[in-house]
Structure formats: structure tokens, C-alpha cells
């Protein structure tokens, strides 16, 4: 596969990688691919399937407008988003890519087709560009999970701009964990060492390390901001942010209600802090999705601060490289899209990535790394994606806290053994794929089943 660690870990904004980051990238790419825009007189965006059903709660409408304005997930200022959108709404027009102004009214030019699906993926969108001579350009894109997009009929795309990544020869090519383990046996290298060698075929070492360090800085900043910010999350459910309050309680003198296992309480709060930031539309790292963005930062912070590593910088880099390898395998051989295979492909995959990364950072063997990842997915098989109100809040925020703790448990179980295990990672990834294929569509990010219909919620006025 030709995929980079920076394809799995992308800096963006919440609340969803597939419903916010991907559509923003697709809208912008549509205009870039069909320029110049001098004779354009109008644009329409149409959302289908899961993007239509949960799009308002997931911020898809906002993301599409921002993408048409030329904004990118990694560079847009989350604190200015509402102001930018309000200004565009008041004017009734958009400056496409910041240059060509056309009329744009949400009710007319941003359409939700809730009972229709496009053929290649549940997260489909169609953009229509109208020119002054009466001609139209129509293009379909799919947001396939984790911020990845592809155009209709196109292979999986690999870079943050949504362009198909050219094949890059690497010293340790792999499509399965069996491939990676075989390379390790022949070369004597660890999984993070092989991933590093593959990345160095694409970029200089200083670029790789600087990029990994930046990812960790953004993750740490997200945790810190989430642990300091109280209040109520947007969207209409009136969900209160809890991480900051619980964190202050955990640091206080009154520990009368502590349980013996509360040493891991901090880890769950780190994860919840990130996902509260995500739900509020803040700056997060897609890891491998936004809905599961809290697990890897939480376990990384646990490693860097509680495991007392001698060289935390090198350990964090090994962690991220190893986690990326697991994410690549899951994306290639199953999916990381909740709309495609449920939350097992989001929280389940993130748990596996974090467990494998922790084992690698602690010096575990390649078989122990595989074992940890397998445990992480195995115990999330069948997990549905049924967000209440179409918002990435319930059960998503708590689910990240639980996933982080399970990742540490998986790593501990693996490190206490010799790497021998019964079920291979490749087998459990294939099981996840088949389970997702068998899962009813109402349990795959449509808010038409599960918790989403068994809890009374407010209606979104914009739906």
C-alpha cells in the first residue's frame, strides 16, 4: 500500500472526519479541479446517505460551505467558523475559493437527500457548477472515513488534498500484518523501524520527525484545552462538558469516592477532553477518525507521563509510526468509516492502534505488537454507530474514554505474554469487515437505530 503516517494522522477540526473534514476537502477540490472560475454563476452541493441523515449534527453543511470558500481543515480557524458562515448567510452569497462571488442560499443550494444513496459509499456528495454559457459541471465525491475522499470511479486517495497518491517504492511494502511480520523476521527490524524506513523513502528524516512531533503537540494541546474548558456542547442536546470538572475533582483533596482502579481515571478523562473539543468543533487530530480522536492522545499521554520512558520523544515517534501501520491495515482490508462498518471501524481501530503503539513504545516484540492490536479490535467487534441526534456526543465521548482504557489493558495483556496468540490481526480485521457488511444500515451512522431512536431528543431546525 502507498499510505503515509500523515494520511492517518491529519490535523483538522471537529466534529467528524468523514462528515466534516472529508466534505470540506471535497468541496474545495471540486472547485480547484474545475477552474478557472471567472465565468461561474452558481454552485450547488447535494448530500446523500449518511451525510444527509446526520450531516447537520456532524457539521457537514458548514464544512461544505467552508470548503467552497477555499478553507482547509488544517488551516481554518475554529474560533472564526461561525462568524464566517454567518457573514456568508447574511449576504446570501459565497466567494468561491475566496475569489469568485456567486449567489448562495442554503435552502436552495445545499440539498439533503435523506432517502437516497450514491452507489460507491454511504457518504456521497454531488457538486454542480453552473457557467454563464448555460453549461454545467457535475462531479460526485465520496468521504470514505478518516478524512479520506475519492472522486466517483477513482481509487482510494492518499493525501490530505484528496488527490490520488502516486505509488512510492518503499523498502518494506505490506498489505497484511503477515507481510510486515515476515519483513521483520528477515530484517531483524521492529515494526516502527520498518515504518520509519518506509516514510524515509518519501521524505527527509527531519521532515518526518518534525511532522510526528507536531502531531503530538496538537494532541497535547487538545487534551489541555479540553481539561480546562467547561460549559455546554452545541447542537441542541444540552450536553454538559464533564472532563474539566472531573479533572479538577481528581486533582482535589477530597478523594473519598475514589475506587481502587482510579489510576486509569485520568486516561479516560484525557480521551473525553479531546472528544469534547471535537464535539465543539475545535482543533483535533484525526486518529484515525474524529469520532475516535481521543483514544490515541490519551494513551500517548499515559505513556509519556506515567510510564516514565527514558527517551519519550523517540517513544512517541515509535508509537505513532506503529499505530499508523495498524490503521493502514484496517483501512485497506476493512474500513475506518462508521458509515460503512459501524463504530468498530472507528473506536475499535483506534483502540487497536493505541494498544499496538504503546507496546512498541515500551519495547515490545513484533508479535506482541500484533497481539495487542488484535485484542483491541476483537473486543469491539459489532460495535454500532448510533449517535443520538446525529451529534458526535452520545455515546461517542464516553466511548473514547472506555476505548483508551481498553487499549492499555490490551497492551498489558500482550506484554505479559510472549507474543503467541490464537487469532491473528489479519483474521480479526477480515472479521470486522464481514461484520460490518452484515450490520444493518440503520446502525451505521444514520441515527435511524440503536440509541439514536430510543432516546428522546430535540429536532434540528436545519434538518
How does pLDDT run across 69-128, given as a tens digit for each residue? 999 999 999 999 999 999 999 999 999 999 999 999 999 999 999 999 999 999 999 999
Measured in degrees and rounded to the nearest 5, phi and psi for residue 36 equal -70, 165
Give the span between the Cα atoms of 115 and 459, in whole angstroms. Answer: 18
Residue 461 pLDDT more than 50? no
Cell of residue 233, nine digits: 456542547
Which pLDDT tens digit goes with each residue over 239-274?
Answer: 999 999 999 988 875 555 555 556 678 999 999 999
pLDDT average, residue stretch 432-452: 96
User: For 189-222, what is each residue's pLDDT tens digit?
Assistant: 999 999 999 999 999 999 999 999 999 999 999 9
What architecture (CATH level 2) is domain 17-151? 2-Layer Sandwich (3.30)
Q: Are 177 and 370 in contact (CB under 8 A)?
A: yes
380-413 per-position pLDDT tens digit: 999 999 999 999 999 999 999 999 999 999 999 9
Cβ atoms 446, 390 nearer than 8 A: no
Return mean pLDDT, the chain. Answer: 93
CA dist 89 and 80 (Å) reads: 14
Q: Supply angle C-alpha 410, 275, 288, rounded to 5.
A: 60
- Note if the pTM is more than 0.75: yes
According to the model, what pLDDT value does residue 310 have? 95
Domain ranges of the chain: 17-151, 177-454
Query: Which run of H or E residues covers position 284?
Result: strand 283-286
Amino acid at each position: 500500500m502507498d499510505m503515509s503516517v500523515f494520511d492517518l494522522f491529519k490535523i483538522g477540526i471537529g466534529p467528524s472526519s468523514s462528515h466534516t473534514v472529508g466534505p470540506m476537502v471535497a468541496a474545495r477540490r471540486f472547485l480547484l479541479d474545475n477552474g478557472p472560475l471567472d465565468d461561474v454563476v452558481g454552485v450547488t452541493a447535494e448530500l446523500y446517505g449518511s451525510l444527509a441523515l446526520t450531516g447537520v449534527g456532524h457539521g457537514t453543511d458548514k464544512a461544505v460551505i467552508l470548503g467552497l470558500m477555499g478553507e482547509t481543515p488544517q488551516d481554518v480557524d475554529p474560533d472564526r467558523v461561525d462568524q464566517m458562515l454567518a457573514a456568508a448567510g447574511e449576504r446570501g452569497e459565497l466567494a468561491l475559493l475566496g475569489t469568485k462571488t456567486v449567489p448562495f442560499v442554503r435552502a436552495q443550494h445545499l440539498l439533503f437527500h435523506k432517502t437516497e444513496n450514491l452507489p460507491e459509499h454511504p457518504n456521497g456528495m454531488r457538486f454542480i457548477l453552473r457557467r454563464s454559457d448555460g453549461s454545467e459541471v457535475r462531479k460526485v465525491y465520496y468521504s470514505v472515513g478518516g478524512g479520506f475522499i475519492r472522486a466517483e470511479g477513482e481509487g482510494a486517495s492518499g493525501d490530505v488534498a484528496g488527490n490520488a497518491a502516486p505509488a512510492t517504492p518503499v523498502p518494506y511494502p505490506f498489505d497484511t500484518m503477515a507481510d510486515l511480520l515476515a519483513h521483520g523476521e528477515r530484517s531483524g527490524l521492529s515494526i516502527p523501524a520498518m515504518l520509519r524506513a518506509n516514510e524515509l523513502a518519501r521524505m527527509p528524516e527531519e521532515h518526518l520527525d518534525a511532522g510526528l512531533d507536531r502531531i503530538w503537540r496538537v494532541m497535547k494541546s487538545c487534551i489541555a484545552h479540553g481539561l480546562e474548558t467547561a460549559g455546554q456542547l452545541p447542537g441542541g442536546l444540552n450536553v454538559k462538558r464533564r472532563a474539566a470538572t472531573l479533572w479538577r475533582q481528581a486533582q482535589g483533596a477530597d478523594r473519598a469516592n475514589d475506587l481502587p482502579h482510579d489510576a486509569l481515571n485520568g486516561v479516560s478523562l484525557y480521551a473525553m477532553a479531546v472528544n469534547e473539543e471535537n464535539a465543539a468543533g475545535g482543533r483535533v487530530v484525526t486518529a484515525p477518525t474524529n469520532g475516535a480522536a481521543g483514544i490515541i492522545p490519551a494513551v500517548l499521554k499515559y505513556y509519556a507521563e506515567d510510564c516514565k520512558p527514558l527517551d519519550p520523544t523517540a517513544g512517541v515517534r515509535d508509537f505513532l509510526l506503529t499505530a499508523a501501520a495498524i490503521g493502514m491495515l484496517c483501512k485497506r482490508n476493512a474500513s475506518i468509516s462508521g458509515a460503512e462498518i459501524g463504530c468498530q471501524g472507528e473506536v475499535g481501530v483506534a483502540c487497536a492502534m493505541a494498544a499496538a503503539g504503546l507496546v512498541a513504545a515500551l519495547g515490545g516484540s513484533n508479535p506482541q505488537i500484533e497481539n495487542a492490536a488484535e485484542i483491541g479490535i476483537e473486543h469491539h467487534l459489532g460495535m454500532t454507530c448510533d449517535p443520538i441526534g446525529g451529534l458526535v456526543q452520545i455515546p461517542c465521548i464516553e466511548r473514547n474514554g472506555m476505548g483508551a482504557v481498553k487499549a492499555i489493558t490490551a497492551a498489558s495483556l500482550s506484554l505479559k505474554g510472549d507474543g503467541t496468540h490464537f487469532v491473528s490481526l489479519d483474521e480479526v480485521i477480515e472479521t470486522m469487515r464481514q461484520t460490518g457488511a452484515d450490520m444493518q444500515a440503520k446502525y451505521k451512522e444514520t441515527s435511524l437505530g440503536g440509541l439514536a431512536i430510543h432516546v428522546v431528543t430535540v429536532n434540528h431546525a436545519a434538518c
